[in-house]
A = this chain, B = another copy of it.
Amino acid sequence: MSTDLHPFDRAVALSATGVPNQYQGTASPDYWNMVGPYGGITAASLVQAIQQHPQCLGDPLSITVNYAAAVGPGTFEIDANPVRTNRSTQHWLLTITQPDAQGQPQVVTTATAVTAVRRQTWSVSDMPMPEVRAAAEVERVPPLFKASEWLTRYEMRFVDGILPRDEDGAERDSLTRLWVRDNPPRPLDFASLAAVSDVFFPRAWLRRAKRVPAGTVSITVYFHAGREELAAAGDGLLLAQARGQEFRNGFFDQTAQLWSQSGQMLATSHQIVYYKE
């Protein structure tokens, strides 16, 4: 593999195995998190498989990714199955598998996705970009944790709700706003937009000022950007916002929005996250 590729392109590279609907990838050390690859890069690999599939109709509209187990080091197989193709929408069932100690494939990720051919219609935003400090006025921060390699793959400038420095248990709201983009900058596409939708540290760490064990169980991304809006966003910083809704008995959910620097809504996202204690 050429080393002058962007780390993101190396991470999501897939090859067709010859088995129908099956692609092989390699878990990326560049995007390693605590016990497996960053969840966003797993979502991006699934988007990549769909877009690489010869029968793919249109562009990504929605994807839901369920993290059933940590993806381990080495290769994995994606099964991307277009189970229903309509006139302008297509429905996908996806799994990621890795072999267990006995060599039997085990499901580590499940997903569904919808792709669609989009047409210009009446359009409006009911959630305009909040007025925040311009990206250039906000300090770029070093990676929040050195142990999580994926953090070095993003440029982050926090406007609101950075991770509390002290784990003092003081309760606050769970709103984070940051300017963010790939590091180094890379033109936005559907796969990298899926990846960055998972960029937020766990809301429980902010809400409680306490870094309890936590991990995403399921994430959904709705793509509002088409190719034109992605091209217009280019490699500029995005404003990313996330807010927790309910923290209840071991799981919390968040809603998230991502706008281009010019204020175009590119994607909305939600996830439900496991937390301990």
The residues of A with any CB-CB pair to B shorter than 8 Å are 61-62, 64, 66, 68-69, 83-84, 86, 89, 91-93, 95, 106-108, 110-112, 114, 116, 118-127, 171, 173-174, 203, 207-208, 217-218, 220, 222, 224, 226, 243-251, 253, 255, 257, 265, 268, 270, 272, 274-277
Contact = CB atoms under 8 A, between A and B. Distances in A.
Q: How many copies are assembled?
A: 2
B93 A110 contact: yes
A153 B22 CA distance: 44
A61 B253 CA distance: 11
Would you list the 3 A-B pairs with minimal beta carbon distance, nearest first? A68-B84, A68-B91, A64-B64
B173 A245 contact: no
A108 B89 CA distance: 13
Given A68-B84, A68-B91, A265 B248 contact: yes
Contacts of A245: 125-127, 257, 265, 268
A171 B179 CA distance: 31
A107 B123 contact: no
A203 B126 CA distance: 10
B91 A126 contact: no
A261 B68 CA distance: 34
Given A89-B274, A110-B112, A255-B255, 6 more contacts: A118-B249, A122-B247, A220-B220, A224-B253, A245-B268, A253-B268
A126 B89 contact: no
A247 B111 contact: no
B62 A83 contact: no
A271 B118 CA distance: 17
A118 B123 CA distance: 41
A106 B84 CA distance: 8
Given A84-B106, A95-B83, A277-B121, A126 B174 contact: yes
B86 A68 contact: yes
B249 A268 contact: no
A68 B93 contact: no
A66 B94 CA distance: 13
A274 to B, nearest CB: 8
11 contacts: A61-B272, A62-B66, A62-B218, A68-B91, A84-B107, A112-B218, A124-B247, A222-B253, A222-B272, A224-B253, A255-B268
Contacts of A171: 124
